[in-house]
Amino acid sequence: MLTQAIAFVVEAIFDLFILSALVRFWMQVLRAPARNPLAQFTMALTDFAVKPVRRLLPGFFKLDIASIAVAWAAEVVLLSILSLLQGVEIVNGAALSVILFLALVKLLRLTVYIVMVSVLLQALLSWVNPYHPVAPFFEAMTRPFLKPFQKAIPPVGGVDITPVLVLIACQLVLMLPVAWLEGEAMRAISRFVL
């Protein structure tokens, strides 16, 4: 019981940080404006880790490699802690390589969730308050995912249904490749349980 409580607290703290570092990476990739409270919170929460790593890992093709590296490293640390709490022996290279791979899969899953939440919030803001200070942020975060659908499917009765299609596509990505990769990694990790 105590182990579950410790795992919950550790996972909650790490997940907030990992999510922030990943959002920071995608903000830069998608050129989302940083002049809003959400972006400023993300930057403030991750600056202590990203700025030192940026000295070691500079940008590559205008990508903030430091942010994604910090998110991945934090996910590896989180998975290692959770594995140790569950009795997984991670001292050998095979277990560590599985954790490194599983961390990438978890970041992929979290990226899909970021897209889904951004699409939902952008659609909601477009109906309720399109001039809200965070509206341009969510518009930038969702534009690359909505544009292909919007080009192919016109509004139906004046309503843009493409957010629903993007959410369905995201759910399929979570159900098929992400779930399969996660399942394979979890089966590999189960071989190392003490």
Q: What is the CA radius of gyration of the chain?
A: 19
This prediction's pTM = 0.91
Quote the number of domains for the chain: 1
Q: DSSP character for 60?
A: B
The pairs formed by 159-167 with CB atoms below 8 angstroms and a separation of 24 or more are 160/123, 163/119, 163/120, 163/122, 163/123, 166/115, 166/119, 166/142, 167/116, 167/119, 167/120
Give 154-193 pLDDT, tens digit per residue: 988 888 899 999 999 999 999 999 999 999 988 887 777 6
Confidence at 3, pLDDT banded by 50, 70, 90:
confident
Structural domain including 123 reads: 2-190
Tens digits of residue pLDDT in 60-114 = 887 899 999 999 999 999 999 998 888 777 767 778 888 999 999 999 999 999 9
